[in-house]
Chain A
């Protein structure tokens, strides 16, 4: 057993054993196109999970369903012990209403491929708007926390800039600060470096690495950065055509996979 995998096992052993997210037989279809065909997945609190796989394999859809941006066609997603898309009323299970979803959604934060910062607000306002209006927190306290967070991602000197005045890498770091200020238990990263110029990727990955090592929230990263996944992730899933083909520690999947499809994918990747 390699040194890396011993390290990975130690990492897993120190994790909290409570599952914060469970996927049970989750499927998703867009018309006749079956994006996901029965996903089963456990994510423990504090666990860092990377999802890799060819494009169109449904990676993004997995996390979009957890963020309640897409509704699963069938199956259950359990967040913090409660079913995300269904609720019980008079003993029967019915589709969840907005209030139920919103309660669970408060545990989850997301960073998008295209940043999606609010262009009409300064970056400080971008960070402050949700804690103040959604969580009804004290404005002064939120402001302090937002400034701290923006300093942490290296933008403490640009508080009153508008998103249009920033580079892609800076925008993505603001997006991360905005999500972190909400103190989620689970953070989702949807190909956060794919829309960036190559020279800006490093600064964004550096921030994610910092969050992964210092914060105890669970993280799910959909990514094409294999080396980064190897470095940060406790667990790696390989997804192909809507099915999880292989999952295990980062080194198991990325370095010692026996699966042909995984090997072919990684070979293609390394060639580039």
Chain B
């Protein structure tokens, strides 16, 4: 629906300027009325308040207009946050599974994980998203679920591949003496991992995991491309109904993402200071 709206406004603008230049007043006037009623009906359908460009051009940046935009945009907040939480959760789990598989004894498991990581790290997230959304259902006749699930899975798998390297690197960075000490205490492989290595490795992972979580938050905006109504989607809708307000709209959208990121920035800082305490060996 957003697409139709955008197109019609484009036509509307072109015709408007033509009218002014070529003095073909009557034709333009009629066209103007026609488009106006078309836009009104569309806007009713979409429940979007349309502010006509001819009137809003006068007051470009206006705090009160910006504040008026916020309720519109917050309608996308639920989707953005739910996609963020779910895809971050999947990314963490995938990161641990893949990270641990990469250091496992089994060559097959290591190779398989290696292929997964390279494929998902080496290709674009948007293309992966479109693959899951358009290509997979066509090729294999599998429905992966709603577009919410497809977005969550694509982002989760993509960031999981990056974060698996963090998991692997942190585990390998634990001092060798720690493993020797746990062998000397006769711990099993599993106990060594659970009691000694992971608690220290996880402390090292915290800063990187924080950074990746912020990146995931920003990546959630891509789900607007597969029809999810998140913050960016509503921003686009507003822009397409009101082209001249685009700068202000996107400033407000950016600010909303920035505010969403703040808790993670804070948590990462906090995590870093915790991480410093428990690791330094010797």
Q: Which residues from chain A sit less than 8 Å from chain B, CB to CB? A: 67-69, 98, 102, 105-106, 108-110, 112, 114-120, 129-130, 133-134, 162, 164, 178-179, 182, 195
Contact = CB atoms under 8 A, between A and B. Distances in A.
A112 B277 CA distance: 22
A266 B219 CA distance: 68
A178 B200 contact: no
B278 A109 contact: no
Contacts of A115: 177, 282
Interface stretch (B181-189, B230-238, B250-258): B181-189
A239 to B, nearest CB: 21
27 contacts: A67-B180, A67-B183, A69-B180, A69-B183, A69-B184, A102-B186, A102-B188, A105-B186, A106-B186, A109-B184, A110-B184, A115-B177, A116-B178, A116-B181, A116-B281, A117-B181, A118-B178, A118-B181, A119-B200, A119-B278, A119-B280, A120-B199, A129-B185, A129-B195, A134-B191, A179-B184, A182-B185
B162 to A, nearest CB: 26
Interface in B148-179: 175, 177-178
B203 interface: yes
A10 B174 CA distance: 47
Contacts, number: 70
A115 B200 CA distance: 16
Contacts of B183: 67-69, 105
Contact of A164 (B175, B180, B186, B280): B280
The contact size tier of chain B is 20 to 34
A62 to B, nearest CB: 15
Residue among B180, B186, B199, B279 with the highest chain A CB neighbour number at 10 A? B186
Given A105-B183, A120-B200, 9 more contacts: A68-B183, A112-B180, A118-B178, A118-B196, A119-B281, A133-B195, A164-B280, A179-B185, A182-B186
Nearest to A168: B282
A112 B182 CA distance: 12
A134 B280 CA distance: 25
B195 A98 contact: no
Interface of B: 175, 177-178, 180-181, 183-189, 191, 195-196, 199-200, 203, 277-282
B203 A112 contact: no
Nearest to B194: A133
A98 B199 CA distance: 24
B177 A112 contact: yes
Contacts of A182: 185-186
A134 B182 CA distance: 10
B188 to A, nearest CB: 7
A98 B278 contact: no
Contacts of A120: 199-200, 203, 278-279
B11 to A, nearest CB: 65
B195 A114 contact: no
Contacts of A69: 180, 183-184
Contacts of A67: 180, 183-184
A134 B196 CA distance: 13
A120 B185 CA distance: 16
A98 B203 contact: no
Contacts of A134: 185-188, 191
A249 B183 CA distance: 32
Q: Which 7 A/B pairs are nearest by Cβ-Cβ distance? A: A116-B181, A130-B185, A116-B177, A120-B278, A110-B184, A120-B199, A105-B186
A83 to B, nearest CB: 18
B185 A114 contact: no
Contacts of B178: 116, 118
A108 B183 CA distance: 10
Residue among B181, B185, B187, B282 with the highest chain A CB neighbour number at 10 A? B185
A178 B280 contact: no
Contacts of B177: 112, 114-116
